[in-house]
Amino acid sequence: MTATDPGREPEDSVDVPEGRGFGVAAGLDPDVAAPLAARCQELGYDSMWSNDHPGALGLETLAAFAAAAPELDLGVGVMALDRHSPAEIAGHLERLGLDRSRLWIGVGAGFDERPLTTMSEAVPRLREQLEGVRVVLAAMGPRMSRLAGEAYDGAFFNWMTPAFAERSRLNVEAGAAGAERRPPPVFGYVRTAVGPDAEDRLAREESFYRDLHDGYRNHFERLDEPEGTVGIAAADADAAQRELAAYERALDVQVVRGLAGARAEPMIALAEAAAPRR
C-alpha cells in the first residue's frame, strides 16, 4: 500500500471521535498516572494520552492509565520510527497487555532525513504489525498533513494556533479527497497551563521545542507567532475553557497537554480546570 493507494478507509469499527483528551509526558509515576486517569474518566474526558521520548516509553504510561480508566481510549503521540520499528511497537503492546481496540498510536519520522518518504513507505508495515490499532500520523507541514488524509487513520497536530490548525485540517481533507476516502479524524496537542505561573510554564515548554530540530524550527517559522504564545496560559478555568473552545473547529479531539507539576494534586487540578463542559 502506498500513499496513492491507501487500501482501506480509516478505521470503521468505532465512531469518528470527538471531544477532549488529556495528555502527559511519558514516564509519569504510576502512582500519579492511575488516579489522574480515574479522575479524567469521571470528568468526561474521552481519552488519555502520553508522548514518547528517549527517556521513557509512552506505551508504559498508557498501561498505567489502562486499568484505572477502563472506559477511555488510550493514545500515544507520537512514536518516532527512527527509534521504534513497527515490529518493536507490536512487541511492546503484547508485553504490556494493551487492548488494541482502545489504542490510537501516533507515529512520526523523528530525525529521519527523508520524513515524507519514510512515513509513506511505512504504512504497509504498520498495518501488518499493528492490526486492530488505529494509527495516526504526526503532521505539522502541508505535505505530511495530506499524507495523513491519504493513508492513515488520523492526523495528529502539535504546536499550532487555532487558525493554523484550521488551515492544516484543509490539507488533511484534501489528501483524503485525492485518495477518494473519507477524511480521518484530526487530533492535536494543546499545551495548557492554568494559574499564576501559567505564562512561565508555557514559555519554558515552547522554548525547548522551538530549537529541538529542523522540523520544529521550520514549523515555528511558518507559525510566525511570538515566543511563549502557542498554546494556552490561562489565569483560571473559565479563561482556559474559552481558549480551548477556539480549537473546536480545527480539531476533532483536543488533547490537553497538561503543563503542571508531575504530582497527582497539580495534575488533577489542571485536568479539572480544562475538563469538557457538556
Distance in angstroms (rounded) separating the CA atoms of residues 136 and 187: 9
Q: Which amino acid is at 150?
A: E
CB 106 within 8 Å of CB 137: yes
Q: What are the chain's domains?
A: 19-273 (3.20.20.30)
CB 107 within 8 Å of CB 135: yes
Q: For 73-209, where are the E strands, in sequence order?
A: 73-80, 103-108, 134-138, 155-157, 186-194
CB atoms within 10 A of CB 108: 24
CB 40 within 8 Å of CB 68: no
Query: pLDDT-based confidence at 205, cuts 50/70/90?
Result: very high
CA 95 → CA 151, 217, 267, distances in Å?
28, 36, 28
Residue-level pLDDT at 217: 93
Task: Name residues whose C-beta falls within 8 Å of residue 262's C-beta, 6 or more positions apart in sequence.
Answer: 24, 25, 28, 29, 32
- CA 99 from chain centre, in angstroms, equals 18
DSSP letter (8 states) at residue 101: G
Q: State mean pLDDT over 184-189.
A: 98
For 97-134, what is each residue's pLDDT tens digit? 999 999 999 999 999 989 999 999 999 999 999 999 99
Query: pLDDT-based confidence at 70, cuts 50/70/90?
Result: very high
Residue-level pLDDT at 7: 46
Distance in angstroms (rounded) separating the CA atoms of residues 72 and 8: 25
- Indicate the burial class of 166 (C-beta count within 10 angstroms; 0-12, 13-18, 19 or more): middle
Query: pLDDT-based confidence at 16, cuts 50/70/90?
Result: low
What are the grid coordinates assigned to 91, written together?
A: 512487541
Query: pLDDT-based confidence at 95, cuts 50/70/90?
Result: very high
CA 34 → CA 141, 250, 263, distances in Å?
35, 30, 11
DSSP 99-131: -GGGEEEEEE-TT-SSHHHHHHHTHHHHHHHTT
Average pLDDT, the chain: 94
Query: pLDDT-based confidence at 10, cuts 50/70/90?
Result: low
For 210-237, what is each residue's pLDDT tens digit? 988 888 999 999 999 999 999 999 999 9
pTM as predicted: 0.94
Q: Which residue has the higher pLDDT, 16 or 198?
A: 198
- Alpha helix (H) ranges present in 211-247? 214-223, 237-245
Residue-level pLDDT at 12: 44
Query: pLDDT-based confidence at 8, cuts 50/70/90?
Result: low
- Phi, psi of 30, rounded to the nearest 5 degrees: -55, -30
Residue-level pLDDT at 18: 82
